[in-house]
Chains A and B, each alone.
Chain A
Amino acid sequence: MKVKVISRSTDEFTRERSQDLQRVFRNFDPSLRSQEKAVEYVRALNAAKLDKIFARPFIGAMDGHRDSIKCMAKNPNYLKAIFSGSDDGDIRLWDLASRRTLCQFPGHQGAVQGLTVSTDGSILVSCGSDCTVRLWNVPDANLADSDNLSDNSAKPVAVYVWKNAFRAVDHQWDGDLFATAGAQVDIWNHNRSQPVNTFDWGADTTISVRFNPGEPNILATSANDRSITLYDLRMSSPARKVIMRTKTNSIAWNPMEPMNFTAANEDCNCYSYDARKLEEAKCVHKDHVSAVMDIDFSPTGREFVTGSYDRTVRIFQYNGGHSREIYHTKRMQRVFCVKYSCDASYVISGSDDTNLRLWKAKASEQLGVVLPRERKKHEYLEAVKNRYKHLPEVKRIVRHRHLPRPVYKAANLRRTMIEAERRKEQRRKAHSAPGSIVTEPVRKRRIIKEVE
């Protein structure tokens, strides 16, 4: 006779330490758990709901400026600091952790239009409508810890006066060049009072400039003549220009994909371009209901944040047609500048109401130390939610947002208008000779031409 005995070795059941968890053995036979899929669906649904419940993206506002905030700059070398410049010529250094002003940089006579920090985080460059470029030494990081914040005002290291007012400035990654935009595009060296190079292509004012962080010698500008222009510093020449139907307010390069950049356009959309194929946009990011004023990429290259004239901040996927998140508060006015923090977990917005606002990049993310088991659980819920995100119920909950009434109405109106336009075109197409009217894709429609 055979007797079957469950045999278990003691080694497997002996804990090394008394704190260790008891070992549990499971039978993973799928036939034993026929309802697993249903269970996971419900979990996904619950996770989506919980996400809604825990969505508290707003961390705090930073109050102190006396005029609307025009520009911001993050220190690429120090996580906690952010610089902001306002319309009254005031530049401030903020400590994000304590949300206080650490230091002020007085000197600009008119509005500060552009701010940027060198890659090593030692030099701050500001420019403004008073035709000056000012270089400042960034105060030590330890300043944040010290308590005496009474009058921390720095003196500029250098002031370069130039012929025209400036509209924007950006620093090269890992170099000592920075570019200003104004009547023309100037390339400056830290140590020279005159620009080392000047580009002038087209008559209109350049309003924004951004260096490519991956390819430090390539930069893009946008101008009032509705153009986006690419420059290559190695050949010290402009490379290509694309003219769109509306003006581009700001440009951001994808830090992880050096060939791609996204342009924040006046027509409420953002356009992602491949620098090598400018005849059509790679992706059109719609959702804002008013001009997009500023854009900044997450350091991961997977997301970007936009600030709009419609008083909202939105976060888009780098390849998503619609935003995944919208942030707004009652008191936040027109957003002029936005920044993604260097660790890709916060978003800072500067707006017309003289405040900087600090947001979480993921609205329902848990701040602080997350224990491993907790993290595992979060990951699991996220994965499950991601898996069932296409099912209608989960989708609905994940997508749902409360909007301010004006934004909601404007969005509706826009939708109606677009729909009407589409219908009209359809009809026109239907009533004209076949082939005579060609519907251009949205990615091409807003581009007038590519200038060589």
Chain B
Amino acid sequence: MAVKKRKERAFGGESGNSKKFKKYSNSKGPMKKNKNDTRKKGKGPRLPSALRTELDRLDPKIASDSDDGIDLDVGNDVYEYEEEVPQEESRKNRRFDPVENYDYELPEDFEDENVPSDDEDDDGDFGVGGNKGSRNDDVDASDGDEEEDDERHLRMLQGVTGMSTDAFGGKKKRNSVVISEAHPESEYNPTRDVLEGDSHITLQDLLDPIQGKAGYSKLRKRVQHMDRKSTSVQAPLPKVDREKLERMAVYEHSKKDITKWEHLVKRNREAPTVFFGGDVDLGFSTVGAIASEFEPRTEFEKKIASLVYDDKVMEAHKADGSKLLELNKISEEDYMKHRDHVAKMRSLLFRHEMKQKRIKKIKSKTYHRLKNKDKLKVESAEMLMDPEAAKEQARKQEFKRAEERLTLKHKNKSKWARRILERGLNAQDEGTRAALAEQLHQHALLTRKINTVKDSSSSSDSSSDDDDEGSNEDRASELLEKAKEKTLKVLEDDEELPNSGVLSLPFMVRGLKKRREEAIEEAKLALQEYEQLEGTNDAENSKPATASGRRVFGRANNEVPDSNKKTKTDNKMKMDNYYGNSDSEDDLEAKANVNIEGCKRNDVEKDVGPNYDRKEAADVSIFKNFDDNGDPGSKTTYEVAIFASDSWRKMKSENGVDKNAKKLQQVKEAIVHNKDMEEGEEDSDSEREQMVDGILSSAPKESYELPSQSELIRHAFAGDDVEEEFEKDKQEILNEENPEPDKPVLLPGWGQWTHVQQKKGLPWWMLKEHEDAKRKREESLKKRKDAQLKHVIISEKVDKKAEKLQTKSLPYPFTSKELFEQSMRMPIGSESNPETAIRSLNRPEVVKKPGVIIKPIKFVEMHHHEKSEDYKRSGQKQKKNKSKGASGKNKKQSN
């Protein structure tokens, strides 16, 4: 067991040795002898085989064990192998301690456990082994000390003689032993070897003498323990190296330390603006603060101060103030009274408000209708009772009417009404139609009142118009009948063709006839419609009058189309007459004209109002609904047909006459239209459309064939040869940029009279110069960028003015042309930027206040989340952050 352990240890030691060897070979050093040890060890296996066999015979058990075992035990028995012994010995007395220190590979406890027992065993062996143990040890020690010298010597001898080292070794040892000591060996008298050797006295040496005495083993154990635990102290490095190492350490440390500033510095550098002395208080900011600090200095100020702060004045001021307060006093009862009164008023007001709110919320129509009726009743009663109230009422009405005239609120102009009309009245349900009609009625009422109010001399007609719905209904049918009558009359009335005058000309006669025929046709159509309408009217009339809305609708519905039809036919006829003839008008026309005159002169048409309006409203509906001919022309020529109470009256509206005279745009249009109408409506329509088309898109004739593109171009540029021109241009530019050399001319005067020049021609150098110049020009022309490009001129002339505005190379901080151009793209002035943006656009890199001391940077820890945020955010936001951070930091600084 012990042997096994020892073996392990020996291996360990060996590996340790080699390791150590490596290390120390690097740093040339104090451990040279170890080197020798290992070398000697390498020599171990080189024992003569004879000796080995002998050893085996002596102690077969050990020999079989291992080589190291041999070495160990041989030391005890055979003197010749003493050289081998020191290795073992030295291990025992801890010569190799430093080795074990460097042995980092092996776990320490591995040896720590085993070693003590091992050594003890060894000691035991030695103690038992021989009575001259101590002596033996001593010798071993001395050998250990001297071993490298011996070793070297031995090797030399071996090299010279070729004999084994053993032979010489023994001899040498013996020699060293021979040198005798004057004194007995003890711890106080170490052997000469010990003293002279380069090693020191080891603890082992000192311990050996007391071996076997009381407490020896204890002491020994302690020593061993100490040995194992203790680390050997290195020889101090030279001062230069030491300082260098220290400096390196210091530098590394301070380097690391100073790196902590990096994020601050980086932030500062990247910030578009750095702020310094941000919140340094430069003094008083408010007037009050300055005033409170004021102290009178000059005489004048002092005088003023003495006056202001005079005790009497102050007292008087105080007294006065209190007096004023006294005057303000009121008795408690009064105050209470006043308060109660206010509270009461408030509560009343509140209640009233609440009531009004409730009433306002009521949606019931009946309620509102009743309410309105009540209101009207009350008003009418008031009107009767009180002339003042009547006046007021009248004024109100007047205002309403004026409003109506201005806004035309009830003329179905609202969005809702328009939409309904667009979709068609027929499509609507009755309620809606009724509502529309009601509106119109309202409008009519409101505007009709104008006449009644304006003209106090109201005719009987007005009253008939004013009457209620029922009578209106009757009147509608009446009117229809009248209209019918009228048309029939027109139909029957065979107008005599004029026999003389311009109109008697055959083409005029033909035209008239034609027109008449048309009119008759129209009249027939109208008649048909009247009949239809009458039918419907009757049907509707049969329904009871309870639903007033419906009734209203029926009336409106009936009246509207018929009146319009009427007007239309009348329009045409009248217009034809108006433009077509001069003298021989039919009676209708004459009547109408008379009516017009009458209308102008005296306000015959008091009752026209509602009709007129109705017609107008119907106008719209007709064009939307019954558009047999959607002729806008008739819209523009605005004519009014008036249903007089007793007779059909056809009149051209004032517009027609007056505007004609004034040559207003409208009338002009009408004229144009009318002219067209002479040739027939459909024709005129189509023609007009064509005309519009002609204006908008000059439509080509159908027979025209499109020429091909190239043909077109050839036609277009028939006269000029572009290519040739371009070539000429290019040549010109080339000549301008690379001018052709001048031809050499005869030198005036030189050899003229001898005609030498004429004979010899030009001097050679001149010709050569010319040639050179020509060649140069050719070359430069060839080098041009557009030399190969036939249709391109690339000017190589530099524009000096433009050059001023360009950089020759990309300026430093920019990495690409685009970036550089980007940097100047947007203007930064106040003309093209809002006030809020300018400030950040124009902010300088360093913002500081004059007269404020700027302190050096102070360290601020940057939080991790802040850092990560910085990374996450991008572009603008980051910048903002940074600048903020910088400012914040500086604030901290100034604090």
Contact = CB atoms under 8 A, between A and B. Distances in A.
Interface stretch (A102-110, A350-358, A390-398): A390-398
B832 A36 contact: yes
B664 interface: no
A255 B845 contact: no
B163 to A, nearest CB: 54
Contact of B254 (A41, A79, A218): A218
A257 interface: yes
9 contacts: A28-B833, A43-B829, A255-B856, A302-B845, A343-B853, A379-B843, A387-B828, A390-B811, A392-B807
B79 interface: no
Contacts of B841: 383
Interface in B835-883: 838, 841-846, 848-857, 859
Given A215-B258, A255-B856, A276-B258, A452 B832 contact: no
Interface of A: 26, 28, 30, 33, 36-37, 39-41, 43, 76-77, 79, 173, 201, 213-215, 218, 230, 232, 234-235, 237-240, 255-259, 275-276, 299-302, 342-345, 376, 379-380, 382-384, 387-388, 390-393, 452
Interface string B212-230: 0000000000000000000
Give the top 3 A-B pairs by smallest Cβ distance, nearest first: A299-B854, A255-B856, A213-B856
B117 to A, nearest CB: 48
**Considering residues B248, B253, B829, B849, which has the most beta carbons from chain A within 10 angstroms of its beta carbon?**
B829
Contacts of B851: 79, 343
B276 interface: yes
A128 B824 CA distance: 55
B259 interface: yes
A390 B856 CA distance: 32
A140 to B, nearest CB: 18
Given A28-B833, A391-B806, 8 more contacts: A30-B826, A43-B829, A258-B261, A275-B254, A299-B853, A300-B854, A344-B854, A380-B829
A278 to B, nearest CB: 9
Contacts of B842: 376, 379-380, 382-383
A387 B823 contact: yes
B257 interface: yes
B247 A452 contact: yes
Interface string B363-404: 000000000000000000000000000000000000000000
A267 B584 CA distance: 122
Contacts of B274: 300, 302
Contacts of B701: none
A276 B243 CA distance: 19
Given A388-B824, A390-B811, A232 B253 contact: yes
A223 to B, nearest CB: 16
A402 B375 CA distance: 98
A402 B808 CA distance: 25
A175 to B, nearest CB: 13
B804 to A, nearest CB: 5
A41 B838 CA distance: 17
B855 A299 contact: yes
Contacts of B833: 28
B102 interface: no
A32 to B, nearest CB: 9
Contacts of A342: 853-854
B827 A380 contact: no
A232 B243 CA distance: 14
A240 B252 CA distance: 9
Contacts of B827: 30, 33, 36-37, 39-40
A106 B256 CA distance: 44
Contacts of A393: 804-805
B888 to A, nearest CB: 15
Given A40-B827, A257-B265, A218 B258 contact: yes
Contacts of B251: 230, 232, 239-240, 452
A343 B829 CA distance: 29
Contact of B265 (A40, A173, A256, A345): A256
B261 A259 contact: yes
Nearest to B262: A259
B255 interface: yes
B857 A37 contact: no
B8 interface: no
B244 interface: yes
A239 B257 CA distance: 13
B247 A345 contact: no
B412 to A, nearest CB: 16
A300 B277 CA distance: 10
Contact of A214 (B246, B828, B857): B857
B844 A299 contact: no
Given A36-B829, A232-B254, A76 B853 contact: yes
A47 to B, nearest CB: 12
B830 interface: yes
Contact of A237 (B247, B803, B805, B829): B247
A402 to B, nearest CB: 23
Contacts of A299: 276, 853-856
B184 interface: no
B580 to A, nearest CB: 36
A173 B856 contact: yes
Contacts of B805: 41, 391, 393
Which of B254, B842, B844, B852 is the most central at the interface, judged by chain A CB atoms within 10 Å of its CB? Answer: B254
A235 B253 contact: yes
B834 interface: yes
A302 B261 contact: no
Nearest to B266: A257
B702 interface: no
B36 interface: no
Contact of B248 (A79, A214, A452): A452
B669 to A, nearest CB: 19
A406 B274 CA distance: 39
B852 A36 contact: no
Interface in B763-777: none
Nearest to A258: B261
